[in-house]
Structures are given as C-alpha cells and as structure tokens.
C-alpha cells in the first residue's frame, strides 16, 4: 500500500500542515510530488497537491481516506513549484513543510508596513509656492517643499532632510501639494526614469550573444558567462531577457543585494519599464506577497531580486539569470540550506527555461562544472570602450614594517594618492572584512577579544567600547590582555573609521566619504553614498566589500586594497577563492573610463597565488592552482562535503548529543567511506546564546551522502535526547 502526503491549501495563512491519504490501486505509480489531485476533505472534495509519497502512513491507516482522482490537466505553476520544493527537501535535507514555506510566500495577517515615496504634485509651481509659504512663515512646510525641489524621495528621508514631523507631510498631501505613494514605491520611483533604447552590441558582445543563443538551440545547458566588470554582462542579460519576453515568457534575474547593485535594477527598469518588478530585503511580507501576486497574474514579467526571487510564481518563466553567481548570499543559511544556483537549474529544468550565470570571477564550483561540460562557458574578453584592465602593483607590507613604517597605509600608496588627488581624480580604499579588521588582538600572545554570546571578534569603536556586530553586546576597553596581561592589546585595530582618521590627517583638504554598516543603516544609505561619489562629490571613498560592486565610477583612477589577504585567515576551505574574488573585483574598480587606472594591493602574502593571480587578473591561472588544492584535500568541487551543525542552549547537552551522533555515523559507516571529522566548535561557536558544533562528512558519491543523511535524520528523530538540539544539514559547494 502506498500513501501520499497532500497539501490542500497553498494560499493558507500557515502553510504548516499536510494530510495523509491512501493511494488507490488505479493511481499507483502515476503520482509524483506536484501532482494535482482531488481529495475528500471535511465533507467536501477539494484540490490538493501531492508533496510526498511513501510506504508508511503518518497516522493510523484505517482512518485514512483515499485520493479521489488525479487531475491530468491540472499541472499549474503551483504544481511545478511543489515539485521544486520536493526536490529541495530531498536534495538539501529539510522537511517538506520548510521547503514549501521557502518556495511559497506565506500570506500573513499584519499591518502593512510600507515605505512612502513623496514628491511634489506640481513641480512647475514649486517656486511660487515656496515664496508664498515663506511669506506666511509656514517654515516647516517651506522646508518640505524646498527639500523636494530636486525630486521626490522616501518619506523617512524627507523627514530627516527637512527636519519636519510626519504631520506636515500629511497636511501638505491633503492640500494637494504633495503626492504620497505607498506601494511598489521603488518600482514607481524608478519607472519614471526615461526608457532607454537598447545599446548597439560590440563585436565581442555580439559573438557572446550568438554563442548563448546557439547553445539555447542546441543542448541548452546552463551558460556560465565570464566577463570582467564593465564588459557588458548586464547588457547581454537585457538582450537575452528581451528575447524571452518577445516569446511571451517571463524572466527572473537574481542579484546579490539590491542596495549594492542598484544600477542593475535601474537598467532593467530603463529597458523594460513597468514590466519590471523587484524584491528587496526591506519589503514587508505583505508587499512581498503583492509583488509575487503581480507576477503570478501577469502584471509584471521581469522580477529582479535576491535569491528568494527565484521562487517568483511566473506562469511560464523562460530565463533565470544569476548575476555575480559566485556570491555567498546565494546560499541560504536557513533550512533548507539551498543554493540558488543549483535550485535555479532545477527550476529551469521543470519549467523548460534557460539559465545564465554571470561573473567576473566565477565560483570554482561553476568553473569546474563548465570544465566538465555540464555548463556552457562563454567569455566576454574585453571591457567596453577599450578602457583596458587596470595596472596593478603589490606592496609587501612586511617590507614596510621592516622599513619602520607600521601604518595601514604604505608609503607607495600615499605617494600615489597624492598624485591622483593633485589631478583631481578619485581614490577608493577597500578594507577587507569589517569584523576582522577591527578586531582587538593582543600582539604578545595573539588572543582576540570575542563576544561572550556569539564568539565572534569584537570591534573597537571610536567611543572606546568593544562591540559585537552580531548581537550588539558591548564592553569597556581593556588596558591589558585578559589572557596574558600584556599591555600591547589593540594590535590590528583597523576599521574603516581609523582609516578615515588617518586619511583626514594626511589629506586634510580632501573630501572623504566612508561606507560601512554604520554609515549605511538608513533605508537608502548605500545608494546615496555611492551616488554622491559617482557624481564626483568627494575625493576618497573608504569602504568594506560593499564598495567593490555596483556603481560605475568614471573618475576613480586609484584603488587601494588594504589588508588584501586578511580573508586568507578565515577558517574555511574557500578562503583563497574569496580573497581572489575580492581583490580582483576591488582592483577592477580602477580606471573604468578613458582614464587608465592603478590598483595597489597591500599584502603580507605577496607570493600567494590568490594575490598574484588577482594582481594579474588571471582567472584561469587562479582556477588551476585552486583546483589542485581542492583535489589534494578532497574539498568541493573535487569531493562532496556536507556539514552537520548542531546547536543547543546547553553546552554539555550539545557535546553529548554530537558525540552520540559521531558514534552513530561511525557505526553505519564502518569502512570510513564518509571521511567523518568532528564534532568541533563551529566557526561561530556560539550564536544568540546557543552553542554550535559541527561534524563534517565527505563522500565520493552523492548517493552515499544522501543515504547517510537519511539514516542520521531517522536516528535524530527516534532519540528523545535530541529534542533540545537543532541539527541542520548543509551541502557545501
Ligand atoms: P558588466 O555587467 O559586465 O559590468 P555592463 O553591461 O554594466 O557590464 O557595461 C559596463 C558599462 O559599459 C555600462 O555603463 C554600459 O552601459 C556600457 N556599455 C557596455 N556595452 C555597451 C555597448 N555595446 N554600447 C554602449 N554602452 C555599453
Ligand atoms: Zn595576550
Ligand atoms: Zn554577540
């Protein structure tokens, strides 16, 4: 006898319940996850989706009803997404309910939180109005109108800028002076941007386009588009998307984070106008739901957004683009720990859609699959406008120290900055990793001061306090190392604030902008700072990895990469890959336009291949070295690896539970085929007051890992000792 788990109402408020039914003889072998069926339910007959099939029912089989019929013509958008959820649940190891909740946006009853966009109703009358308001001494109102002269803005920003209460905006709106729009604001705001005609492709771009189109005609494998920043990848996405739209299909475009890639969004809107919608992390759940519904109902046909946009319920998606495909943000940290790349490929397979992955520095994993012929590799070799790659130079910081210069800015960098500033050009200083670079270290014993709740390095702030950037914990500055008592504590305290201070001391005349988590907390913080700098305001922009992407900075001719190799210290097999990507992308910001640029890479490891290849902008060289390392160590993509992270409020309980888990794994794997290691404290050994510990599993074949995972899951489910331990699987790529 076969049983099916059926979900009866996807639009339900809480998508947390499936129901078991018996599969009648006549339907045996015909059902699969996603099949649309009719089932008896509460005295009625309703439509439902099969989400799982199995030989064991979830409750007393005698009480189960039988599935009514299989609706053969019932395949819908929902059924394909259910099938995708079923795949995710099996592939990444999560419950079906969690997978369904990831795939379907849940409608919640909640007050709609919207960001209002305010603009002048009749801009042509603004000057006269302003004069009148001033005459009547209606100062708050006058300030509001004045602030809007140059164009509309989000309400929050207006209140701050004009120093007015929300009441003033309401009054002016009632008087018909201001227009306030409260939904889909960002879309509307940018949809007013002039629509641009398509650009003429260069020969190289055209060749790449033809290669992709011929792949579509032929095997239609996922395309891996490698092209340096500025080579026209975005332009190609626009071309490909427009072809798909012409066929009456829709497009999903994933980008790492809207705030950082605002220009990409704007370009899609400029090309496709009202047909574009986008998701971003600041939308409320209600707004998100509305966007998704607009997509389902055919009111929009291009969705741009972060990884969750992958699940946009378009009726017939024809292409999924993943820009900057190497970015970590495509990997979900929550169960199911899916990767948008693989999941996109699966969804495309279910929908018959094309997949295009783009990057200047593709993930080693994707490059490997391209090498194996699973992906079609397409190259955009040149930057648009023939501006060439920036010259790069590495500065050995050990030599600097030996020469008595212990500062974060090398002599060479200061010299170059002076030249560039004298020419009235701009400088970007890129500081690798915030938490890292601001950490408080003892220079005698090497101890790092960490957060007692989160076990990550605390960062020293200007006010002297040490702050945890995960949970906000802060403590007073210490004078002596808590471990060895040495007074040389502080050590590598280099955050963006300190760099800013130094810069101001060296170049008092220069305009300095800083971009990090602190200066970008406001709703549109990133965008404003980047726009300001791109428009030529400020001479020097200091920032963390946030500044390496997005905007085009025509006047930047010098990029300084400070502490290029700090990310090499990360305890992760991908540290070299990340370092190469960060340094390459940072260097790529120099000299994008007519002016030749220079990237200066300051490093303590000038001989490391990730630094050398980044300096030479040599992707194939890096890939070769890196694959040699992965193969030697059997790390992905050479080997298959998964982590099993346990977390619990009690450290003893966790240690005990993970110990049992390890013993169990050894029992089911007597030959050691899984190459199990651990348990060991996780990289973040404590998060939000829960201890975390990891076991790593490796396997030559995915089936071995899958089989082991299923047995481990069953073991955990059957043992009450695990009731207070959360265990999460994560397939590493
Ligand atoms: P990428 O996405 O690879 O960084 P973009 O598509 O953003 O590259 O192109 C970089 C810049 O060059 C953009 O400002 C774009 O408008 C311009 N550009 C690229 N190709 C062309 C072209 N064929 N015609 C006109 N402008 C182009
Ligand atoms: Zn010490
Ligand atoms: Zn903390």
239-267: pLDDT as tens digits: 999 999 999 999 999 998 766 667 788 88
Residue 202 alpha carbon to ligand 1 centre in Å: 10
The protein residue whose alpha carbon is closest to atom 13 in ligand 1 is 230
* Distances, alpha carbon 404 to alpha carbons 336, 548, 626, in Å: 51, 31, 34
- From the list 527, 688, 15, the residue with the least C-alpha distance to 285 is 15
Q: How far apart are the first and last CA of the chain?
A: 38
| DSSP H helix total and E strand total for the chain | 23, 30
The protein residue whose alpha carbon is closest to atom 27 in ligand 1 is 384
pTM: 0.79
- Paired tokens of 709: 């995972």
pLDDT tens-digit map of 203-246:
999 999 999 999 999 999 999 999 987 889 999 999 999 999 99
Average pLDDT over residues 355-383: 95
Ligand 1 residue neighbourhood (C-beta within 6 Å): 199-202, 205, 227, 229-235, 384, 552
> What is d(CA 245, CA 559) in angstroms, rounded to the nearest whole number?
39
* Residue 496 pLDDT > 80: no
Q: Where are the beta strands (DSSP E) in 407-534?
A: 426-431, 441-442, 459-460, 466-467, 474-475, 489-490, 512-515
Give, for 481, the enclosing helix (H) or strand (E): none
Q: What backbone phi and psi angles, to 5 degrees, belong to 400?
A: -60, -45
Ligand nearest to the CA of 473: 3
**What value does the CA radius of gyration of the chain take, rounded to a whole number of Å?**
28
Average pLDDT over residues 465-469: 72
Chain centroid offset of residue 261 CA:
11
Residue 467 alpha carbon to ligand 3 centre in Å: 8
Residue 482 alpha carbon to ligand 2 centre in Å: 7
Question: What's the pLDDT band for 187 if we cut at 50, 70, 90?
Answer: very low
The protein residue whose alpha carbon is closest to atom 24 in ligand 1 is 199
Mutate to test the pocket of ligand 1, among 235, 236, 381 (most ligand atoms within 8 A of CB): 235
> Relative to the CA of 236, which ligand 1 atom is closest?
6
pLDDT of res. 523: 45
Residue 447 alpha carbon to ligand 2 centre in Å: 5
pLDDT of res. 520: 60
Chain centroid offset of residue 672 CA:
36
> Relative to the CA of 229, which ligand 1 atom is closest?
4
Residue 491 alpha carbon to ligand 2 centre in Å: 10
pLDDT of res. 462: 63
Residue 688 alpha carbon to ligand 3 centre in Å: 7
Compute the mean pLDDT over every residue in the chain, rounded to the nearest whole number.
83
Residue 615 alpha carbon to ligand 2 centre in Å: 35
* Residue 183 pLDDT > 50: no
pLDDT-wise least confident of 45-59, 292-306, 347-361: 45-59
Asked if residue 586 lies in contact with residue 561, where contact means CB atoms within 8 angstroms, the answer is yes
**Which residues make beta-bridge pairs with 41?**
44
Ligand nearest to the CA of 271: 1
Question: What's the pLDDT band for 182 if we cut at 50, 70, 90?
Answer: low
Mutate to test the pocket of ligand 1, among 262, 384, 385, 388 (most ligand atoms within 8 A of CB): 384
pLDDT of res. 554: 78
Ordered alpha helix ranges (H), 380-423: 397-402, 411-422
Residue 550 alpha carbon to ligand 1 centre in Å: 12
Other beta carbons within 10 angstroms of residue 721's beta carbon come to 11
Ligand nearest to the CA of 452: 3
* Residue 351 pLDDT > 90: yes
Task: Tell me whether strands 474-475 and 466-467 are parallel, antiparallel or unpaired.
Answer: antiparallel
Mutate to test the pocket of ligand 1, among 201, 227, 232, 267 (most ligand atoms within 8 A of CB): 232
Give the residue with greater pLDDT, 196 vs 703.
703
The protein residue whose alpha carbon is closest to atom 19 in ligand 1 is 232
* Distances, alpha carbon 141 to alpha carbons 118, 138, 149, 160, 180, in Å: 13, 6, 13, 14, 15
């Amino acid at each position: 006898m076969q049983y099916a788990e059926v979900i009866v109402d996807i639009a339900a408020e809480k998508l947390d319940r499936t129901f078991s039914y018996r599969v009648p003889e006549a339907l045996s072998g015909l059902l699969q996850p996603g099949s649309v069926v009719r089932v008896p339910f509460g005295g009625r007959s309703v439509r439902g989706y099969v989400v799982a099939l199995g030989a064991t029912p979830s409750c007393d089989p005698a009480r189960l009803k039988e599935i009514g019929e299989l609706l053969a013509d019932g395949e819908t958008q929902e059924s394909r997404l259910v099938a995708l959820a079923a795949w995710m649940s099996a592939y990444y190891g999560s419950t079906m309910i969690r997978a369904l909740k990831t795939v379907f946006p849940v409608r919640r009853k909640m007050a709609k939180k919207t960001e209002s966009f305010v603009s002048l109703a009749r801009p042509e009358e603004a000057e006269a109005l302003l004069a009148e308001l001033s005459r009547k001494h209606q100062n708050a109102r006058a300030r509001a109108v004045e602030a809007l002269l140059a164009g509309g803005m989000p309400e929050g920003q207006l209140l701050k800028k004009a120093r007015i209460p929300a009441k003033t905006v309401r009054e002016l709106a009632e008087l018909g002076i201001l227009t306030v729009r409260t939904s889909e604001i960002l879309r509307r705001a940018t949809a007013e941007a002039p629509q641009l005609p398509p650009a003429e492709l260069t020969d190289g771009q055209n060749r790449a386009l033809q290669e992709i189109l011929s792949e579509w005609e032929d095997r239609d494998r996922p395309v891996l588009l490698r092209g340096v920043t500025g080579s026209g990848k975005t332009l190609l996405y626009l071309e490909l998307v427009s072809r798909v739209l012409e066929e009456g299909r829709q497009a999903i475009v994933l980008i790492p984070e809207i705030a950082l890639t605002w220009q990409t969004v704007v370009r899609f809107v400029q090309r496709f106008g009202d047909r574009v919608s986008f998701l971003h992390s600041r939308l409320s759940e209600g707004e998100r739901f509305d966007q998704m519904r607009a997509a389902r109902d055919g009111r929009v046909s291009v969705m741009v957004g972060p990884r969750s946009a992958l699940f946009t319920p378009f009726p017939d998606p024809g292409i999924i683009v993943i820009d900057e495909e190497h970015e970590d943000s495509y990997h979900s940290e929550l169960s199911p720990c899916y990767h948008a790349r693989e999941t996109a490929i699966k969804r495309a397979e279910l929908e018959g859609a094309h997949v295009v992955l783009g990057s200047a520095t593709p993930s080693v994993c994707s490059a490997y699959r391209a090498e194996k012929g699973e992906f079609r590799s397409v190259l955009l070799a040149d930057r648009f406008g023939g501006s060439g790659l920036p010259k790069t130079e590495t500065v050995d910081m050990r030599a600097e120290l030996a020469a008595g210069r212990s500062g974060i800015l090398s002599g060479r960098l200061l010299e170059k900055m002076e030249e560039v500033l004298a020419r009235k050009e701009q400088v970007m200083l890129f500081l690798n990793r915030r938490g890292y670079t601001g950490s408080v270290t003892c220079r005698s014993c090497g101890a790092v001061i960490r957060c007692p709740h989160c076990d990550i390095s605390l960062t020293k702030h200007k006010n002297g306090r040490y702050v945890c950037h995960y949970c906000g914990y802060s403590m007073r500055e210490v004078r002596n190392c808590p471990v060895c008592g040495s007074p040389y504590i502080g050590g590598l305290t280099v955050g963006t604030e300190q760099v800013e201070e130094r810069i101001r001391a060296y170049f008092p005349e220069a305009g300095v902008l800083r971009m990090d988590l602190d200066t970008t907390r406001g709703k549109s913080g990133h965008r404003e700072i980047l726009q300001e700098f791109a428009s030529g305001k400020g001479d020097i922009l200091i920032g963390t990895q946030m500044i390496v992407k997005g905007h085009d900075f025509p006047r930047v001719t010098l990029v300084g990469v400070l502490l290029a190799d700090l990310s090499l210290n990360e305890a992760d097999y991908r540290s070299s890959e990340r370092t190469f990507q960060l340094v390459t992308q940072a260097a790529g910001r120099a000299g994008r336009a007519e002016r030749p640029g220079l990237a200066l890479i300051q490093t303590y490891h000038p001989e490391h291949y990730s630094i050398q290849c980044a300096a030479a902008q040599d992707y194939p060289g890096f890939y070769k070295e890196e694959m040699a390392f992965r193969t030697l160590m059997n790390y992905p993509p050479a080997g298959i690896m998964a982590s099993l992270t346990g977390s619990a409020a009690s450290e003893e309980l966790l240690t005990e539970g993970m110990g049992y888990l390890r013993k169990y794994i050894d029992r089911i794997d007597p030959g050691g085929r899984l190459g199990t290691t651990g348990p060991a404290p996780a990289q973040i050994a404590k998060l939000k007051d829960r201890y975390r510990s990891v076991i790593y599993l490796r396997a030559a074949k995915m089936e071995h890992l899958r089989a082991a995972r299923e047995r481990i899951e069953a073991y955990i489910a059957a043992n009450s000792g695990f009731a207070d331990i959360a265990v999460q699987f994560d397939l590493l790529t």
